[in-house]
Structure 1
Amino acid sequence: MKLVVQVKLMPDAVQAPALGATLHAVNEAADWVSVVAYERGVPREYELRKHAYAELKARGLGAQAAQHTIKKVRDAYTTLKANIRAGNLGPKGSKRRAKAESKPVAFRPGAAQPYDDRCLSWQYDAQTVSIWTTAGRLKNVRFACSPDALKILRKHRKGESDLIERDGVFYLIAVCDVPEAERYEPSGFLGVDLGITNIATTSTGYRAAGRGLNRHRKRQLDLRRKLQAKGTKSAKRRLKHRARKEQRHAANVNHIVSKQIVTTAERTGAGIALEDLSGIRSRVRLRKDQRTQLHSWSFHQLASFVEYKAKRAGVPLVYVDPAYTSQQCSECSYIDRKNRVGQATFACRSCGALMHADDNASHNIGRKGEAVWIAGRESRVPATP
């Protein structure tokens, strides 16, 4: 299982300008390679090297840095092509898609640059790194991280690490290959209903209310509007200082909720059933005043946190079709749109069962998860000779 560990670099007054100049140089070179690739119809990586490698070396990039810059550009075009094919940039002829296809891919001055073990080495005991720059090799660049992150780095770091600059601070994002725990046979499935009013509701009775997070988002939105309307230098400084604060807060909440879900499943010997909500933003039609709330909903991030924590703990996890989970009675299985009386109330028109709507949906999801697991287990049984 691939995990990424982010560490904060703490360079001194000499090292920091060298790191900044290196990132600016490699991303400026990447912009030039992108123009070459665009003009030549985006050739394959090996062919692109013939047109760009010598120039990159002449610009002062090392051999490995030049190779990684070319690969970074080629990967960016591969990602763009995949997004176009998946329809993420709109249909053919749309303004957004036409704009993306009409110019070369551009790179920010502080965009990530990959480093391999030839141009980056780690000293875990001293918590320092030795890293290549355009000004030469920098040694004893200190980094900071949590004890758990340092333990994972020491045991499982493998492959490339990315150097990025964010708001004047440098970070290294390292790839770690962590072995997955052996999955156990679940005694049942814990259904998880994801939502906006309640972030997550499980079939065991746990409910993570979204009121606090939604209020926090509204406060941040109102503050951003006020500062943007003011437009002064101090307002712009304040906006920059508060950038990504809402995102960090939401990620922290999702980490707490996902840990609670996985810990409960592991303690009870159950598996986890999650709704497959891919594409829900394009399917749902809401009023204009509700769209901000929908597009701020970080259900995908929460699901990914649950998924990787479950893999580390050996907890079985399945995704189920969310169709009718909010309309079907978990007691008698009767389906009717009118069963959902309100946002929080479920009243079955067949058996008269009355319960919280999210609790009802979580039980339905748990049963669907068990059915999916049984079907998958049966498909893995070898055929009788």
Structure 2
Amino acid sequence: MKLVVQVKLLPSPEQAVALEATLHACNRAADRASAAAFESGLFSRNDLQKLVYAELKADFGLGAQPVVRTLKKVVDAYTALRAAIRAGTLGRPGCVRRVKAESKPITFRLDAAQPFDDRILSWQHDASTVSIWTTAGRMKHVPFRGNADQLKTLREHRKGETDLVHRNGKWFLVATCEVPEAEQYEPVDWLGVDRGIVNLATTSDGHNHCGRRLGRYRRWQARKRAELQAKNTRSARRRAKRRTKREQRHATHANHKISKEIVAVAQRTGRGIALERLDGIRDRVRPSRDQRAALSSWPFHQLGEHIAYKAQRAGVPLIEVDAAYTSQMCPRCGHTARHNRPTRDSFSCRRCGLAGPADVVAGVNVRNRARSAWVFVNTPVPQGI
């Protein structure tokens, strides 16, 4: 499985100037190549290389391999754009967003990430330094730092390109690693996980990962963004964008913590993890006006992805089950009714009287459905059918 490892680069002031000049040159070259690709309609790397290779080397001071990496970045950007258009994420034909994307060439920020391969960037793990190509020449002994686990993964499993990233005045290297998957074990049972907005994740064991703190943080950020939007100045828009990115990083950190704990519990107890299949949930529900912002920014998909890749890496079995009526069905008698859930937090079966927290009941129902699905999947097919 592919993972990315990010380490912090610690260049001296002179080295930072050289790195910044290199990023700017590569991205100006990418803009030139993107315009040529758009005008000529050539979007394969070989065709584009024949068209602009000599020009980029002469005009921007790039070596042969940086030109190749820059052209690959341009081609990948157009491939991603065509995929987004086919998937409909840019809207229907004729809508403003799609017309804007299709009517002009892709442009790159001066500080946009630039890919490097092993010919123009080499790692010295013992010394914790890298040697990297720049427009000012090869720059050696640039120190980097990172988490011990990340550095171990980087040393043992790095494979492929490394991106040079300049973000908020800091320098990073983002490397691709090919990590072998652990052998999946046969689960003794399942740990059901119910995902929600108020409670981000609730397990069938009754453990609740409350999202109220994250909710308060998001409401506070929303108020601050509203104040900045009311000013509607250039500086206010930049600050609002930075706040949005900070909020996204905060939510990602919370999802990492929750997913790591869930996978650790399942692995320690020899169980698998059962999740609800929530594809298209935003189209199925009709939230009230004051709930729309919370639902649209609900990071349930990211939490599911974190759980999935951590489980895959640890060898923990993962299964997705139907999410219909998990919070309205009684796990003891099977009675399903909307009135079984009189409030958001409570469950009380109208037939047998079973009562408890609604999210825990939903987690138990997810676990029970995983048991049934796993038995069905592993039932041997009779001979002759």
TM superposition score category, shorter chain reference: over 0.9
Q: 1:241 to 1:98 in 2, by over 3 A?
A: closer
TM-score, structure 1 normalization = 0.92
Report SS of the residue matched to 2:13. coil
Q: Distance in 2 between matches of 1:2 and 1:14?
A: 34
TM-score, structure 2 normalization = 0.92
Counterpart of 1:333?
Answer: 334
1:68 aligns with 2:69: yes
Counterpart of 1:269?
Answer: 270
- Tell me how far 1:372 sits from its aligned partner: 3.2
- Tell me how far 1:92 sits from its aligned partner: 2.2
Query: What is the identity, as a one-letter code, of the residue corresponding to 2:50?
Result: K
Task: Tell me, yes or no, if the aligned pair for 2:276 and 2:323 is still in contact at 8 Å.
Answer: yes
Task: Tell me, yes or no, if the aligned pair for 2:187 and 2:317 is still in contact at 8 Å.
Answer: yes
Q: 1:91 to 1:137 in 2, by over 3 A?
A: same
Task: Tell me, yes or no, if the aligned pair for 1:327 and 1:336 is still in contact at 8 Å.
Answer: yes
Q: 1:371 to 1:90 in 2, by over 3 A?
A: farther
Counterpart of 2:118?
Answer: 117
Give deviations 1:57-107, integer Å, cap 9, x for gaps: 122211111111111111111111111111111222222222211221221
Q: Where does structure 1 differ by over 6 angstroms across 4 or more consecutive aligned residues?
A: 231-238, 381-385
Counterpart of 1:287?
Answer: 288
**Superposed, which structure 2 residues align to 1:193-232 within 5 Å?**
193-229=194-230
Task: Tell me, yes or no, if the aligned pair for 1:83 and 1:89 is still in contact at 8 Å.
Answer: yes
Counterpart of 1:31?
Answer: 31
Counterpart of 2:370?
Answer: 369
Fraction of identical pairs, as percent: 57
Query: What is the identity, as a one-letter code, of the residue corresponding to 1:185?
Result: E
Task: Tell me, yes or no, if the aligned pair for 1:275 and 1:322 is still in contact at 8 Å.
Answer: yes
**Superposed, which structure 2 residues align to 1:1-385 within 5 Å?**
1-58=1-58, 59-229=60-230, 244-378=245-379
Give deviations 1:296-338, integer Å, cap 9, x for gaps: 2111221122112212221111122212222222112222233
Query: What is the identity, as a one-letter code, of the residue corresponding to 2:17?
Result: P
Deviates more, 1:264-273 or 1:294-303: 294-303
Q: Distance in 1 between matches of 2:346 and 2:307?
A: 27
Q: 1:232 to 1:99 in 2, by over 3 A?
A: closer
Deviates more, 1:274-283 or 1:130-139: 274-283
Report SS of the residue matched to 1:329. coil
Q: Distance in 1 between matches of 2:238 and 2:37?
A: 37
Report SS of the residue matched to 1:252. helix
Deviates more, 1:47-56 or 1:285-294: 285-294
Unpaired runs of at least 5, structure 2: none
Query: What is the identity, as a one-letter code, of the residue corresponding to 1:180?
Result: E
Query: What is the identity, as a one-letter code, of the residue corresponding to 2:99?
Result: A
Q: Distance in 2 between matches of 1:143 and 1:254?
A: 27
Query: What is the identity, as a one-letter code, of the residue corresponding to 1:102?
Result: S
Unpaired runs of at least 5, structure 1: none
Deviates more, 1:143-152 or 1:272-281: 272-281
Task: Tell me, yes or no, if the aligned pair for 1:42 and 1:74 is still in contact at 8 Å.
Answer: no
Equivalent pairs counted in the alignment come to 384
- Tell me how far 1:206 sits from its aligned partner: 0.8
- Tell me how far 1:236 sits from its aligned partner: 7.6
Query: What is the identity, as a one-letter code, of the residue corresponding to 1:223?
Result: K
RMSD: 2.4
